[in-house]
Amino acid sequence: MPTDRVTVVIPTYNERENLSHIAAAVTHQGYRLLVVDDSSPDGTGDLADRLAATDPAVSVLHRPRKEGLGPAYGAGFDRALHDGAGIVVEMDADFSHDPADLPRLVQAIDDGADLAIGSRYIRGGSTPDWPVHRRLISKGGNLYARIMLGLPIQDATAGFRAFRADALRELPYRDAQSSGYAFQVEMAMRAHQSGLEIVEVPISFRDRTRGTSKMGTAIVAEAMRLVTVWGLRRMKRAMRFRDR
């Protein structure tokens, strides 16, 4: 895949401290960058416009208000596909995802995968900045998702992933029920249900050094609630099929 047909979609909300640096790191590799800004009050959107004015590899999608990760990615996917991307990548703005890992995700798609997930929890993956309790909570959440949803994925909550454009078009991302980080689990579930080829690529996930994390208890609660609902529906379908 030519590098200029790879679009990295980065949703932003108050990421002014990180944006210039992450934009330079992405475009340096020849990839296109689409910034999806939810009217950040710190001026992130204005900075994105200035970057786009000087670099044709950068484009900006302004949204009128903060609605969550899922709707932001949905709008970004629409724009990237409309503009002819062959591979669409999800990535955070805060360098928790290392831009140097982008070529490995892209290569996994070139090698035949429909969805490549940057995984913290397969051999070679790591979370070096995390205390033990945070690692246990994250791994526990992923284990719960695997059991409830029947997913053959070690890191279903990961937010660093690449989609083959044709595969992404098959997924109902615009109809996602989740607005927060459960969006990642939902898209992994939909991809698995659609029979897409999914691979995990080991990455090292680092904590941000600039700006403020958007993760909160409400986001975690939404994810647990939705995974439980989806899992119970799956079990009911399995029971109905068994009883036929």
**How far apart, in Å, do the first and last CA atoms of the chain sit?**
46
As a whole number, mean pLDDT of residues 160-175 equals: 96
Residues 108-163 pLDDT 10s: 999 999 999 999 999 999 999 999 999 999 999 999 999 999 999 999 999 999 99
Residues 183-229 pLDDT 10s: 999 999 999 999 999 999 999 999 877 767 656 677 778 888 999 99
CATH number of 197's domain = 3.90.550.10
Q: Give all strands of the β-sheet with 115-119 in edge-to-edge order.
A: 58-62, 32-37, 6-12, 87-90, 161-164, 115-119, 198-202
Residue 115 host element (H or E): strand 115-119
Residue 88 has pLDDT above 80, yes or no: yes
Q: What is the dihedral of CA 31, 5, 66, 191, to 10 degrees?
A: -120
More confident residue, 1 or 125: 125
Establish how many alpha carbons lie within 13 A of residue 238's alpha carbon, considering only the half-sphere containing its beta carbon: 9
Contact 180, 69 (CB under 8 A): yes
> What percent of the chain has a predicted confidence (pLDDT) above 70?
97
Q: What is the dihedral of CA 43, 95, 178, 14, to 10 degrees?
A: -10
As a whole number, mean pLDDT of residues 80-102 equals: 97
Instruction: State how far the Cα of 211 lies from the Cα of 182, in Å rounded to an integer.
Output: 22
- How much is the pLDDT for 42? 96
As a whole number, mean pLDDT of residues 20-33 equals: 97
Kind of pairing, strands 161-164 and 115-119? antiparallel
Instruction: Phi first, then psi: give them for residue 29, nearest 5 degrees.
Output: -85, 0
Angle between helices 69-82 and 182-193 (to 10 degrees): 50
Number of folded domains in the chain? 1
Task: Specify which residues 199 forms β-bridges with.
Answer: 116
Q: Which residues of 130-150 are buried (b: 16+ CB within 10 A; e: fewer)?
A: beeeeeeebbebbebbbebbe
> What percent of the chain has a predicted confidence (pLDDT) above 90?
82
Instruction: State how far the Cα of 121 lies from the Cα of 224, in Å rounded to an integer.
Output: 19
Which range of residues forms the domain containing residue 122? 3-242
